Amino acid sequence: MVVMPLGLFTLINTMTDEIKDIQYFIDKEKEYISEHKNDGSMFEESTGLIDADFYNPEYFLKNGKIQRYYDGIKGYIGNEEKYELTEAERVILRMFCGDMSCYFRDDYYHGTVPEIAEELFKVLNSLVLKAPQSKSTPLRRYCKSQDKTDFCEGDIFTVAHCLTCTEDDWEQEDSKNVYIIEPLKDGKTKAHNLYEIYNHGDEKQVNFTRGTSFKITKVITQKNDLKLIYMEELP
């Protein structure tokens, strides 16, 4: 069975488009804040009062975080200068390694991905491509609650966003589902060592570029019902 993510068709049509500069994102954020500052609140039984535009897919713009990340850039971090990151890529790196990583996943939006998110995806993908190609095997992803785990052997899994993994074995199989990934060899992998640009938290972070496909080779369900999901990268 082929597992097709929500954002794949948009990805196919957009991944060769022009990469936006940082001013585009700052302007879009300011525009959203201006248009929604008087939306008021609404009552939701489970949570109480929330912003009226809370479920807007662009709601993440409301706190002005892109502007704050941009204002916070002082000097280079890690090897940003060596790998010639653009201003937009430097901001997106901080957002992605900071408290905004969830907004770089197409499946976060539960439906139509807003235009500005698609543009964020493209800048991140450009950044990942600047990092050195990974030579490590296997790579592991210690899954979050939203990660897909209902696989069968032989499934093809295509990830529209830049899947995050690590070179390291954190030995967290007793508390998390784990993807164990065999990358392509001989310089053909789409995995790149983001940590060689910036090693956030010493996590040895590796990211695959958008649209990478994998074949599920084995699924082991452990006694605690957590899964070890083995997969191999496809060309």
- State how far the Cα of 115 lies from the Cα of 75, in Å rounded to an integer: 30
In this structure, what DSSP letter does residue 187 have?
Answer: T
At residue 106 the predicted structure's pLDDT band, cuts being 50, 70 and 90, is very high
The pLDDT-based confidence of 110 (bands split at 50, 70, 90) is: confident
- CA proximity to 179, closest of 220, 211, 210, 209: 220
pLDDT of the residue at 3: 55
Name the maximum alpha-carbon separation found in the chain: 56
Per-residue confidence (pLDDT) for residue 88, from 0 to 100 = 98
Say yes or no to pLDDT of 49 above 80: yes
Alpha carbons 8 and 26: distance in angstroms, whole number: 26
Residue 134 CB: number of other CB atoms within 10 A?
23
CA distance 157 to 219: 13
β-bridge mates for residue 214, sequence order: 157, 233
Token pair belonging to 81:
């200068």
User: For the segment 77-103, what is each residue's pLDDT rounded down to a tens digit?
Assistant: 999 999 999 999 999 999 999 999 999
Beta bridge partners of 178: 142, 228
Report which of 72, 140, 130, 139 is spatially closest to residue 100, judged by C-alpha positions. Answer: 72
CB 190 within 8 A of CB 234: no
* Residue 66 pLDDT greater than 80, yes or no: yes
Q: Identify the structural domains of the chain with CATH numbers, from first to last.
A: 7-130 (no CATH), 139-233 (3.90.176.10)
pLDDT at 6: 45
Average pLDDT over residues 202-229: 96
pLDDT at residue 228 is higher than 70: yes
Q: What is the pLDDT of residue 220?
A: 97
Considering the chain, what is the average pLDDT of its residues? Answer: 92
Output the CA–CA distances (angstroms, integers) from residue 1 to 77, 131, 153, 227, in the order listed.
43, 32, 9, 19
Helix (H, G, I), strand (E, B) or coil at 154: coil
**Confidence label for 130 from pLDDT (cuts 50, 70 and 90):** very high
Where residue 12 falls among pLDDT bands split at 50, 70, 90?
A: very low
2: confidence class by pLDDT, cuts 50, 70, 90: low
Query: Residue 40 — pLDDT band, cuts 50, 70, 90?
Result: confident
In 3D space, the residue among 209, 17, 186 whose CA is nearest the CA of residue 129 turns out to be: 209
Residue 79: which of 203, 201, 195, 204 has the closest Cα? 195
On whether the CB atoms of residues 134 and 193 are closer than 8 A, the answer is: yes
